[in-house]
Structure 1
Amino acid sequence: MLLPAALLLLGALTAVAAPRLLARADWPDREPVVALWVWQCVVGAVLMCCVLSMTLSAAAAWHAVGGRVFATAPRSVVEAYALGTAGPWAAVTAMVLACGGLWSAAMLAREVVRAGARRRARRAGLRERAPLLPGEVPGTDRLVVLEGERPDAWWLPGTPSRLVVTTAALHRLRGRQLDAVLAHERGHARARHDWLLHCASALADGFPRVPVFAAFRDEMHRLVELAADDVASRRHGRLTTALALVELNEDRGVFRPAPTDRAQVPQRVDRLLTAPDRLPAARRLRLTAAAALVPVVPVLLAFLPGLHALR
């Protein structure tokens, strides 16, 4: 039974080829939302290959599993998968992939727990620095202004979410620049980028030697910022959004030659000022549809023997 091995090979090829193709493409910076979708489909396809390979390997190794997987399948379909011809490698493959799945779930749970602890600590500090005003109802969304010497603004996820801005930012930002910054943060909130970043970080931390997961995490952090920049620029203009980014970050040394932890800010400003044209709607639709088909390929490959038997 070579199908589990073929699925693993397909997953490996997808993990190697897709990031290289995306790195060479010139459209992800122009359409960050589409690029986010494409990356999710690529990683989903890799994970789908592993899940299907694990399922078929377990079905071949243990009759109890095979009976449940093919419980409603006709006899011709079961015979098409040749479950009885699997060697001892089937059990090993199933166990290794199952351990990988459990490890992924554990890493995601750890990431969610850690993020929750960080969020609770930040909320406690926020309540201490900005308590509720008399008559204010707890549990409602609000804009919080904090006393601070550094201009900054951020979104604190949770229920309810919070938009936080420092007094230095209020003094530094002019006119619609503050509106652009707040629109950027609201773009993160509406798209729930925090969950996407949690999943990407969990995979990258759980499998640090798998390049596709590290690239997925790095691209998610970059693309969510570009997508939020586009939300702000569509409402308040590219120049206004770029100037707001400069005002918030020029005191942090991000525009110096030495790299910093916010080295992407100059590239984001350049992107806003050069105003790249969006892709035509037809091409965006084609890219979205093509990406949606990527996770379908391993499913079709897994069902191919059964479909052939039913023909």
Structure 2
Amino acid sequence: MPTGGGKSLLFQLGVRWWREQSKDCSPCAVVIVPTVALALAHADALKKEPGLEGSEAFVGELSHSDRHELLLRFRRGEVPLLLMSPEMALTSAREALLEAARPSSDRSSVLRGHLQGFFVDEAHIIESWGRTFRPDFQRLPGLVQALRAKNPALRTVLLSATFGAEAHTLIEKQYGAGTFLPVVAGCPRTELDLVVQNFSNSAGRDATLLQVLDVLPRPALVYTTRPKDAEEIAQQLRRRDYARLAVVTGETTGSDRGDVVRRWRAGELDLVVATAAFGMGIDKTDVRAVVHACLPEDAARYYQEIGRAGRDGHPSLALLLSN
């Protein structure tokens, strides 16, 4: 399904339907996400949806007591959707998830939360990140198997806009036991104009970047590969009196990312300079331009990031400046 095509509706509608059908428990689901920014963005959006207001992000910045309290609320059925990284699912949250997957007859009547769904958002990175610096993405099938031993009816859904052939083969091998149903819902996104400009040196590229940012429609995103480059671009823009500006990289704290996500979605920022840490799943419908001041390492990342623009169906620009 393309970026902006409504993948998050699947876990939203799934939990709401399960809750409407259930009489003796409070069905809930886990959503595995690759970044803290995405977990916080989803949680913020879900709190505005009727019936899903109790959804939360289970992130590393929470204190030990806050983690314990959140997992207890999840087991009590007060948290319909719990968002977390694979690392958190396999460590801090593992026992609570296994407890929530057990039949109601095997749990205290107070613990009404029953795990019905296990969703993996941006699942294409199981193949890419999972074989390099995030191996826990490829350890998730073991957790799913343990959860299904407690609840054989558990639904497992893997979502992405960029399933390549290698990712599809790996995922079917890891999750294909029993019924495996691939669903392809592709459609063209004709609202994007793609422009590529190559430069012989970084000085020419950087000068052009500053010029085009003065005239590009906003809100806009600027992507780089390294945190250092993002900070340098932001400093140059601040010297040019850009005020409604923020930076997000892998070095940004969880609380600061959450603040940027909130301000970005509320229309308080015109420009965010970021690495891939502010890419997948950050949903804002009226982004008018995405600029890459770098050469993305692969086509999947490029497609994901330009997909932030034009989600309202209006014309938008994707500009790639490389050297």
> Same fold by TM-score, threshold 0.5 exceeded?
no
Q: Tell me the TM-score normalised to structure 1 length.
A: 0.22
- Report which of the two has the higher share of helix: 1
Higher-Rg member (1/2): 1
Specify which structure has the bigger relative contact order, considering alpha-carbon pairs within 8 angstroms and separated by 6 or more residues. 1
Normalised by the length of structure 2, the TM-score is: 0.21
Between Structure 1 and Structure 2, the one with more strand by share is: 2
